Amino acid sequence: MVKRVRLTHVSEEEAKKELKDVVGCLSCGLPTRRTQREVASEVVDICPHCQTSDGHIKSYEEVFERLVTQHYMKHERMSRPEAEEAARLKLAELPAWNDKKP
């Protein structure tokens, strides 16, 4: 069972606002489960799934395939063609892939 702890140094309103501020990965666009405050204190804007073991961004093809299979097909229950189209459109919006066309 998870024990809930109330933070006394952050008001309930501030905590709710911060939860709304969850930001997305600049490579895949999925929520990183990090708040803007956490991201602002770090240099990294890419989620761990989009990074190689040495901290570099994975290739477009690797990110695309994970987005298609793990997000759109598995979680959104899309067919492969629908998932590929959705992934192409999503990646085209993201800063990491400005040079790629959908």
The 10s digit of each residue's pLDDT in 38-91 is: 555 554 578 888 989 888 899 999 999 999 999 999 999 999 999 999 999 999
**Is 8 part of a structural domain of the chain?**
no
Rg (CA), the chain: 16
**Is 1 part of a structural domain of the chain?**
no
Q: Is 37 a residue whose pLDDT tops 70?
A: no
- CA-to-CA separations, 52 to 28, 34, 49, 60, 66, in angstroms, rounded: 14, 19, 8, 12, 13
Q: Is 2 a residue whose pLDDT tops 50?
A: no
C-alpha closest to that of 61 among 36, 87, 81: 87
Q: Give the number of domains in the chain.
A: 1
**Is 93 part of a structural domain of the chain?**
yes
pLDDT band (50, 70, 90) for residue 24: confident
**Is 77 part of a structural domain of the chain?**
yes
**Is 49 part of a structural domain of the chain?**
yes
**Is 9 part of a structural domain of the chain?**
no
**Is 10 part of a structural domain of the chain?**
no
Enter the pTM of the model.
Answer: 0.67
CB-count exposure of residue 25 (10 Å: 0-12, 13-18, 19+): buried
Q: Residue 49's domain spans which residues?
A: 17-34+45-97
pLDDT of residue 85: 96
